[in-house]
């Protein structure tokens, strides 16, 4: 999706500041997904997204390509959904993301997702995650996990046409058990399964099946009907909220098109934790002294329930 030119301009600056501050940037969103085979072997991978990520392996985000064969008994790896780079696998994949610039979700970031490949000699496999991680930030509540990519191949395709059994809403569910030895679920062959051809130790090249993590915002996800939420972002202008100076040290000015109509301002760290709150702000200056150096998300909530988000670099 198109991102405004001024937003593109600031991305390299934010990246350099973050590397200078911390050595390795923290992604805007990260979540761990755990796996266990039928005899108790465990593994895990990390998925997420960031505006500074690329489709290729990003060492800056802690990604490292694994070129050795899969373990012969049990191993899980993740890869990009981009055709050019999807053969490069890692234990951590931070996907490319962009803001939604239309409709009622302006301010939300979404990602094309991550492919997850599971080689398991002992099936079925249990998969689980922290449901709270996906509930902490409104924009992550539409995330889902599935064992196919039909919507990518057979577009236009509407997620509501899938049976509930074909995907799991990560802000609602917290686990699933599935046999990934073949592209079948509940006795039905899956169209366009998540699969890859890779070498397995002692077995040569094998077809390895897996799952797909998809980061949809709530309004464009089939998970919307399963979510219970009182907040629905309203239609807003893309330039509603500006922060200055940015980067900032002790204080930052909030420049909003409708400042008198703000109900509260929240500041979140990049793990989605609320670190500071300003109810009924009467001034346009926010005190950020005491916050650790790093990157934060500032969320302004209007009296109409609309949510407007900007990234802040704290020096």
What pLDDT is recorded for position 97?
A: 83
What pLDDT is recorded for position 20?
A: 45
What pLDDT is recorded for position 113?
A: 85
What pLDDT is recorded for position 244?
A: 85
Rounded to whole angstroms, how far apart are CA atoms 164 and 213? 16
Average pLDDT, the chain: 78
| % of the chain beyond a pLDDT of 70 | 71
Between the alpha carbon of residue 245 and those of residues 20, 26, 241, 311, 313, the distances in Å are 18, 22, 13, 12, 9
Partners of 269 in the β-ladder: 296
- Selected residue with higher pLDDT from 271 and 102: 271
State the pTM of this model.
Answer: 0.65
- Selected residue with higher pLDDT from 99 and 61: 61
> Per residue in 206-219, pLDDT tens?
999 999 998 876 66
Between the alpha carbon of residue 100 and those of residues 80, 110, 182, the distances in Å are 21, 7, 36
- Selected residue with higher pLDDT from 181 and 98: 181
Domains, the chain, in order of start with CATH, read: 5-226 (no CATH), 241-314 (2.60.40.1220)
Residue 189 pLDDT > 90:
no
Mean pLDDT of 171-181: 89
pLDDT band, residue 71 (cuts 50/70/90): very high
- Selected residue with higher pLDDT from 233 and 190: 190
> From the centroid of its chain, how far is CA 18?
19
Rounded to whole angstroms, how far apart are CA atoms 285 and 178? 51
């Amino acid at each position: 999706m198109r991102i405004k030119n001024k937003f593109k301009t600031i991305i390299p600056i934010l990246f350099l500041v973050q590397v200078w501050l911390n050595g390795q940037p923290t992604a805007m969103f990260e979540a761990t997904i755990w796996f266990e085979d039928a005899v108790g072997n465990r593994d895990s991978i990390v998925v997420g997204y960031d505006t500074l990520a690329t489709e290729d392996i990003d060492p800056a985000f802690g990604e490292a390509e694994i070129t050795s064969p899969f373990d012969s008994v049990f191993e899980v790896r993740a890869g990009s959904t981009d055709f050019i780079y999807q053969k490069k696998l890692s234990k951590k994949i931070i996907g490319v993301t962009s803001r939604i610039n239309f409709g009622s979700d302006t301010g939300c970031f979404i990602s094309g997702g991550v492919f997850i490949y599971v080689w398991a000699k002992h099936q079925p496999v249990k998969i689980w995650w922290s449901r709270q991680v996906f509930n902490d930030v409104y924009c992550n509540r539409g995330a889902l996990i599935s064992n196919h990519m039909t919507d990518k191949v057979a577009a236009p395709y509407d997620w509501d046409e899938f049976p509930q059994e074909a995907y799991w809403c990560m802000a609602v569910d917290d686990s699933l058990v599935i046999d990934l030895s073949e592209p079948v679920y509940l006795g039905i062959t899956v169209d366009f399964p998540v699969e890859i051809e890779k070498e397995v130790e002692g077995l040569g090249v094998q077809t390895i099946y897996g799952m797909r993590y998809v980061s949809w915002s709530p309004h464009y996800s089939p998970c919307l009907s399963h979510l219970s939420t009182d907040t629905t972002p309203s239609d807003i202008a893309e330039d509603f909220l500006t922060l200055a100076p940015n980067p900032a040290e002790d204080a930052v000015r909030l420049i909003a098109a409708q400042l008198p109509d703000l109900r509260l301002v929240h500041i979140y760290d990049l793990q989605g934790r609320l670190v500071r709150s300003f109810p009924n702000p009467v001034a346009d200056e926010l005190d950020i002294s005491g916050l650790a150096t790093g990157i934060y998300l500032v969320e302004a909530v209007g009296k109409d329930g609309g949510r407007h988000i900007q990234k802040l670099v704290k020096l």
